[in-house]
């Protein structure tokens, strides 16, 4: 009895293995047929065209990378001193602050010593500006110019009926450019027309009276 059961189990296992092998043979045949179909669908001309397209894309990417590298190299050469130039402006700022402190010192007012000292500071300031200009660090011309947001930053409005609105009439801090780039904007005060303000006030009052 036991022998018959073992024999039946062996027969079942054998049948399952045969079925698996048959299925695997079927899959292999399908894969082979698919690969054959893929080979048949792509003609040599299509494959050559595809390769040419891939080569063209690769060369275009290489050219773009080369141009980016050249641009970065040129920027590094041309603007490598940008940070140094910006820090160097502190020299001019400190000179200007020193002048203001000296001018506001009551013990030095109207003295010959103050005059001589201010003259020396002005000479140093002019020398610094000259050295900066030779190295492409140039001051921005601001006074009596129209406000340009690319180079000026308005800090205050000053009432002045002699000037058009938006004209720079005070320079709080001088701005500079480095070659063709803005190093820092000029901090300025711009004119504000009081006549227009009065006219608008009168118009508003008239409108209120009509209502």
- Do 52 and 117 belong together in one domain? no
- Do 29 and 90 belong together in one domain? no
Tell me which residue of 166, 170, 128, 132 sits closest to 146, measured CA to CA.
166
Rounded Cα–Cα distance for residues 140 and 92 (Å):
14
- Do 152 and 188 belong together in one domain? yes
The pLDDT of residue 138:
92
- Do 144 and 202 belong together in one domain? yes
Q: Which of 4-13, 85-94, 129-138, 192-201 has the lowest mean pLDDT?
A: 4-13
Q: What is the tens place of the pLDDT at every residue in 64-110?
A: 887 887 776 666 666 667 888 888 899 899 998 999 898 888 888 88
Q: Which domain holds residue 169?
A: 140-211
Q: Mean pLDDT score of the chain, rounded to an integer?
A: 76
The pLDDT of residue 32:
46
Number of domains in the chain: 3
Instruction: Check residues 150 and 21 and name the one with the higher pLDDT.
Output: 150
- Global confidence as pTM: 0.56
- Do 209 and 158 belong together in one domain? yes
Tell me which residue of 168, 169, 165, 162 sits closest to 148, measured CA to CA.
168
The pLDDT of residue 156:
93
- Do 147 and 174 belong together in one domain? yes
The pLDDT of residue 184:
94
Q: What is the tens place of the pLDDT at every residue in 150-189?
A: 999 999 999 988 888 989 999 999 999 998 889 999 999 9
Q: 135, 158, 177: which is the final residue of a domain?
A: 135
Q: 75, 90, 113: which is the final residue of a domain?
A: 75
Instruction: Check residues 119 and 44 and name the one with the higher pLDDT.
Output: 119
Average pLDDT for residues 118-126, to the nearest whole number?
92
- Do 148 and 210 belong together in one domain? yes
The pLDDT of residue 15:
54
Gyration radius of the chain's alpha carbons: 42
- Do 100 and 69 belong together in one domain? no
- Do 48 and 90 belong together in one domain? no
Q: Which two tokens stand for residue 135?
A: 């190295």
The three-state (H, E, C) secondary structure of 130-177, written as one string: HHHHHCCEEECCCCCCECCCCCEEEEEEEECCCCCCCEEEEEEECCEE
The pLDDT of residue 49:
80
Task: Please report, rounded to a whole number, the percentage of residues in the chain having pLDDT higher than 70.
Answer: 68
- Do 48 and 87 belong together in one domain? no
Instruction: Check residues 121 and 211 and name the one with the higher pLDDT.
Output: 121
Rounded Cα–Cα distance for residues 103 and 173 (Å):
17
Torsional sign, CA 20, 25, 26, 28: positive
Q: Which of 1-15, 26-40, 73-87, 195-209 has the highest mean pLDDT?
A: 73-87
- Do 122 and 171 belong together in one domain? no
Q: 58, 75, 92: which is the final residue of a domain?
A: 75
Average pLDDT for residues 180-203, to the nearest whole number?
77
Complete edge-to-edge strand list for the sheet that includes strand 168-173: 152-159, 186-192, 168-173
The pLDDT of residue 203:
56
CATH number assigned to the domain comprising residue 151: 2.30.22.10
- Do 95 and 130 belong together in one domain? yes
């Amino acid at each position: 009895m036991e022998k018959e059961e073992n024999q039946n189990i062996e027969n079942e296992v054998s049948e399952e293995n045969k079925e698996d092998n048959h299925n695997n043979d079927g899959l292999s045949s399908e894969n082979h047929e698919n690969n054959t179909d893929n080979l048949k669908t792509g003609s040599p001309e299509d494959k050559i065209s595809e390769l040419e397209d891939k080569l063209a894309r690769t060369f275009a990417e290489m050219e773009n990378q080369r141009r980016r590298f050249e641009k970065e190299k040129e920027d590094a050469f041309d603007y490598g001193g940008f940070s140094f130039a910006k820090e160097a402006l502190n020299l001019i700022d400190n000179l200007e602050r020193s002048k203001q402190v000296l001018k506001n010192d009551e013990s030095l007012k109207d003295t010959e010593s103050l005059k001589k000292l201010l003259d020396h500071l002005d000479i140093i300031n002019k020398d610094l500006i000259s050295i900066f200009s030779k190295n492409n660090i140039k001051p921005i011309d601001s006074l009596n110019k129209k406000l340009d947001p690319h180079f000026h930053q308005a800090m205050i409005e000053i009432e002045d009926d002699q000037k058009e609105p938006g004209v720079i009439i005070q320079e709080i801090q001088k701005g500079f450019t480095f070659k063709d780039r803005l190093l820092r904007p000029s901090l300025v005060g711009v004119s504000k027309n009081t006549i227009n303000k009065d006219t608008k006030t009168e118009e508003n009052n008239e409108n209120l009276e009509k209502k």
